[in-house]
Amino acid sequence: MHSSSVMYPGRRQHSCPLLILLTLPLLCFAPAALAMSPGEEARIEALLLAVSRETDIVFIRNGEEYSAKQAAAHLRLKLNRARSRISTAEQFIDSVGSFSSISGSPYLIRKSGEKPRPARDFLYELLRRTELRDI
């Protein structure tokens, strides 16, 4: 008798389809568990709108300079691609809005007359300012 076909007493042989059947419901509900709440969606939208309205910044991505409107459009595109993995505005900033997913380089923001600084810091500051306006 071949060793791979030996049945052990008291042990059941499970088939792969049964395992798939048991785990399928978990996979179906996983994206819903990570979905953004309407409140978090609104926080991110307010942040992107605030970015687009900044008139005195340059957004630096992979060594190239972009306007605030271009930065907001780029961040919105990245949000749409990563939406299923993001559940908060802070997650958006940390995992999408702070660095290039292609090069891994951090995004930078340069305000008029200042040296460039990490976009992450700027986005957190801007998020706080937008929330203070809503209070």
Residue-wise pLDDT tens digits, 13-30 = 555 454 454 544 544 444
What pLDDT, on a 0 to 100 scale, did the predictor assign at position 133? Answer: 80
pLDDT digits (tens, 9 = 90+) for 71-112: 999 999 999 999 999 999 999 999 999 999 999 999 999 999
What pLDDT, on a 0 to 100 scale, did the predictor assign at position 31? Answer: 44
What pLDDT, on a 0 to 100 scale, did the predictor assign at position 29? Answer: 45
pLDDT-based confidence at residue 33 (cuts at 50, 70, 90): very low
**Three-state SS for 100?**
coil
Q: Which residue has the higher pLDDT, 135 or 77?
A: 77
Which residues in 47-59 are b (16+ Cβ under 10 Å) and which e?
A: bbebbbebeebbb
pLDDT digits (tens, 9 = 90+) for 44-57: 999 999 999 999 99
Record the pTM.
0.73
> 57: part of which helix (H) or strand (E)?
strand 57-61
Query: Nearest 5 degrees, angle CA 100-CA 94-CA 26?
Result: 105
What pLDDT, on a 0 to 100 scale, did the predictor assign at position 19? Answer: 46
> 63: part of which helix (H) or strand (E)?
none
